[in-house]
């Protein structure tokens, strides 16, 4: 093919056919609905499992064997999941894998959260992931999560999402009294220990010491069967209470909480739900704990990937250690995660020849990392070339992207924990504005192109 003309439009929209644009609108309506239903990793797993179940995916431990075309799902502690479509080739030839994460930055409740001060009851929080703390002040918050009771029951909590629900909030200091605060460095102006959310203000009985807290504990017991001690075995998260919205007069963008990285989770989910009898086995992994370093038994630093492969190989009757290592090493993966879009309000942190832009397609990120590619998987060029070909052949609009200027900062993804098995892996996902904020912005054209890209990879990589 001849060299691409320099006049070729760079944006996704101009390169999309009418049917692409129509399909994109439908895809994004589903995506907005997903964002509004799913604000925690557990809610993501529930959504994925329901969607996959309705498309014929069966829980792996409920089948005895499988054959090409079979659709399987595995759940890990209700906080991570895997969907598999068995291919025609044997597993030790390798699988095609798309890995996204379903946890997002938020404010977790501490194990002893409730206290009373100055006529108000409050909940103490401990933030999860990399946040700019001031962004969590003066916005409506919803409380999501579970409380595990000593008798084994799990109580689901979701307060603040329905129109009729109350919400929570962390009040910000009024500017009139913020002279000292305003002179502080941004990183120090709001302390982690000041991120305490408003819980109530009405006493139960004015004679009691902690009468406001007492009323709230009564409410928790009556409405949810939760006692104060139960917070010790709970996983409760404050997340923004507002809904996903279309942005711009042209409605070309979506703003919502948690698009890092549920945009990739949703796009890869939609892709694998469409797969029928692929050549190589297709695997979508939806993992937890990426935002705090992929630790824990639902994060990718655990042996989760290895265990999935071992279980599949065992069921295929291939129990030898070497075949398992071969299946892993011969696999290929997309680490599906977001990148930073160039922000016209902060051009100074971007190097525009190598950073990604909103609405210019899904981003292929060869390496991430910081301080000279530290903690990065630096994808092999041979592998990237094959991905470029697959994307171009499938009409996927894509761009390259580094996270920002070399010395400014950086970030990492799960790619490095996938690469350790010897398999090829590259980062590929949507560019966001305001990543890690309560209201991240994505382009509808890009979200759709990420879905097209993941589908093309799962279907066509051999």
Interface with Mn ion by CB under 5 A: which residues? Answer: 260-261, 337
Least distance to Mn ion from the beta carbon of 101, Å? 6
Structure tokens given for 296: 């824990």
Helices and strands in the chain, H and E counts: 12, 22
Based on the number of CB atoms within 10 Å of its own CB, is 417 exposed (0-12), middle (13-18) or buried (19 or more)?
buried
Structure tokens given for 12: 């996704």
Among 223, 229, 258, CA closest to 114: 229
Of residues 304 and 327, the one with the C-beta less far from Mn ion: 304
Least distance to Mn ion from the beta carbon of 285, Å? 14
Least distance to Mn ion from the beta carbon of 290, Å? 6
Residues with Cβ within 8 Å of 124's Cβ and at least 6 positions away in sequence, in order, are 109, 110, 112, 113, 114, 115, 193, 196
Least distance to Mn ion from the beta carbon of 426, Å? 15
Residues with Cβ within 8 Å of 415's Cβ and at least 6 positions away in sequence, in order, are 333, 335, 368, 376, 377, 379, 425, 426, 427
Q: Which residue is nearest to Mn ion (CB)?
A: 261
Q: Are 276 and 69 in contact (CB under 8 A)?
A: yes
Least distance to Mn ion from the beta carbon of 350, Å? 18
d(CA 105, CA 40): 10
The CA-atom distances, in angstroms, between 184 and each of 73, 191, 201, 462 are 50, 11, 31, 55
Least distance to Mn ion from the beta carbon of 132, Å? 13
Of residues 170 and 338, the one with the C-beta less far from Mn ion: 338
Place of tokens 């016209």: 344
Of residues 45 and 220, the one with the C-beta less far from Mn ion: 45
d(CA 90, CA 260): 34
Of residues 226 and 435, the one with the C-beta less far from Mn ion: 435
Least distance to Mn ion from the beta carbon of 373, Å? 18
Q: What angle do CA 295, 299, 302 make, to 5 degrees?
A: 75
HEC sequence for 358-407: CCCCEEEECCCEECCCECCCCCCHHHHHHHHHHHHHCCCCEEECECCCCC
Where do the H-state alpha helices sit in 38-176? Answer: 41-54
d(CA 105, CA 138): 17
Of residues 337 and 424, the one with the C-beta less far from Mn ion: 337
Least distance to Mn ion from the beta carbon of 196, Å? 24
Exposure string (b/e) for 266-299, b if CB count within 10 Å is 16 or more? bbbbbbbbebeebebbbbbbbbbbbbeebebebb
Of residues 145 and 411, the one with the C-beta less far from Mn ion: 411
Of residues 20 and 260, the one with the C-beta less far from Mn ion: 260
Least distance to Mn ion from the beta carbon of 245, Å? 21
Tell me if residue 315 falls in helix, strand or coil. Answer: helix
Q: Are 414 and 99 in contact (CB under 8 A)?
A: yes
Of residues 224 and 367, the one with the C-beta less far from Mn ion: 367
Of residues 261 and 288, the one with the C-beta less far from Mn ion: 261
Of residues 196 and 437, the one with the C-beta less far from Mn ion: 437
**For residue 239, what are the β-bridge partners?**
142
Q: 444-460 vs 381-393: helix axis angle to the nearest 10?
A: 110
Least distance to Mn ion from the beta carbon of 429, Å? 8
Of residues 261 and 402, the one with the C-beta less far from Mn ion: 261
Least distance to Mn ion from the beta carbon of 96, Å? 21
């Amino acid at each position: 093919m001849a060299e691409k003309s320099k006049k070729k439009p760079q944006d996704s929209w101009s390169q999309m056919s009418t049917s692409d644009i129509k399909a994109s609108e439908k895809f994004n309506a589903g995506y907005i609905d997903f964002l509004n239903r799913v604000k925690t990793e557990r809610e993501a797993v529930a959504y994925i499992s329901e969607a996959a179940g309705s498309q014929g995916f069966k829980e792996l431990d409920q089948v005895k064997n499988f054959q090409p075309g079979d659709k399987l799902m595995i759940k890990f502690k209700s906080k991570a999941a895997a969907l598999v479509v068995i291919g025609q080739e044997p597993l030790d030839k390798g699988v095609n894998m798309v890995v996204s994460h379903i946890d997002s930055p938020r404010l977790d409740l501490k194990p002893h959260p409730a206290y009373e001060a100055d006529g108000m009851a409050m909940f103490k929080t401990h933030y999860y992931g990399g946040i700019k703390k001031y962004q969590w002040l003066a916005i409506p918050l919803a409380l999501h999560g579970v409380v595990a009771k000593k008798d084994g029951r799990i109580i689901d909590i979701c307060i603040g999402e329905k129109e009729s629900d109350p919400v929570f909030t962390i009040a910000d200091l009024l500017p009139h009294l913020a002279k000292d605060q305003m002179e502080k460095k941004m990183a120090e102006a709001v302390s982690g220990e000041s991120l305490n959310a408003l819980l109530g203000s009405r006493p139960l009985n004015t004679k009691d010491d902690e009468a406001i807290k007492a009323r709230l504990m009564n409410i928790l017991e009556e409405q949810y069967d939760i006692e104060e001690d139960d917070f010790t075995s709970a996983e409760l998260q404050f997340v923004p209470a507002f809904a996903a919205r279309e942005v711009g007069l042209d409605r070309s963008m979506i703003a919502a909480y948690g698009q890092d990285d549920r945009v990739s989770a949703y796009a890869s989910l939609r892709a694998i739900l469409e797969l029928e009898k692929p050549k190589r086995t297709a695997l979508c992994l939806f993992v937890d704990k990426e935002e705090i370093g992929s630790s824990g038994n639902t994060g990718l630093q655990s042996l989760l990937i290895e265990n999935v492969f071992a279980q599949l190989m065992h069921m295929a009757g291939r129990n030898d250690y070497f075949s398992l290592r071969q299946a892993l090493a011969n696999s290929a993966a997309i680490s599906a995660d977001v990148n930073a879009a160039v922000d016209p309000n902060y051009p100074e942190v971007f190097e525009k020849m190598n950073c990604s832009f909103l609405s210019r397609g899904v981003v292929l990120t060869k390496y991430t990392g910081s301080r000279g590619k530290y903690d990065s998987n630096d994808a092999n060029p041979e592998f990237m070339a094959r991905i470029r070909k697959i994307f171009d052949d499938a009409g996927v609009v894509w761009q390259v992207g580094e996270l920002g200027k070399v010395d400014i900062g950086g970030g990492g993804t799960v790619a490095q924990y996938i690469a350790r098995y010897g398999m090829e892996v590259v980062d590929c996902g949507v560019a966001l504005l305001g990543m890690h904020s309560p209201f991240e912005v994505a382009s509808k054209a890009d979200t759709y192109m990420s879905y097209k890209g993941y589908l093309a990879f799962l279907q066509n990589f051999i």
